[in-house]
Homo-oligomer: A and B are copies of this chain.
Amino acid sequence: MDFNIRKAQEKDIPSILHLIQELATFEKEPDAVEISEETLRKYGFSEEAYFQCLVCEFRQEIVGMALFYPRFSTWKGKTIHLEDLIVTQKMRGKGIGKALLDQVVQIATDQGLKRVEWVVLNWNTPAVEFYKKYGAKVLSDWDTVQLEINT
């Protein structure tokens, strides 16, 4: 496969938002995406940016992405949180997800960090199996807690 992984640029924002929407639909939450291109620009491509994004390009088309940012574990210190690892449906099973994850892990390793962390829907068996095969631990004893603020 002649795909290419590179740092995302501002011009990729529409493609990134498109992939985010595709994943939300796959995760049975098609109306969950409340962010806009402007939100991605502000927090990923401006002076106050704090997330990073890699994209995978195949024949001039963005077919995958990895979006991540630092977190702080009071056990491990600075870690990387992988918010989204997305490969568009028709391009799955070609090693793109692994190539993206490899690069995120490399970035963490280069920074001397000890952990990359993310979450997975426990019914998404292909993803769970992929992560286990990759060498990650899938923990089912920690539940996510979300407090929505209605402003």
* A residues with CB within 8 A of B: 20, 24, 29, 32-35, 39, 43-44, 50-51, 67, 69-78, 81, 83-84, 105, 108-109, 112-123, 128, 131, 134-149, 151
Which residues of the other chain, B, contact A76 by a CB distance below 8 angstroms?
Answer: 34-35
**Do residues A32 and B146 form an inter-chain contact, with CB atoms below 8 A?**
no
Given A43-B78, A69-B71, A113-B149, 13 more pairs with CB closer than 8 A: A33-B74, A35-B76, A43-B72, A50-B70, A73-B83, A74-B84, A116-B147, A119-B142, A121-B142, A131-B145, A131-B147, A135-B147, A138-B143
Taking a contact as CB atoms under 8 Å apart, the answer to whether A145 and B149 are in contact is no
| A134: B residues at CB distance < 8 A | 147
Q: Could you name 7 residue pairs across A and B whose Cβ atoms are closer than 8 Å?
A: A39-B78, A43-B77, A50-B70, A112-B151, A116-B147, A117-B144, A138-B143
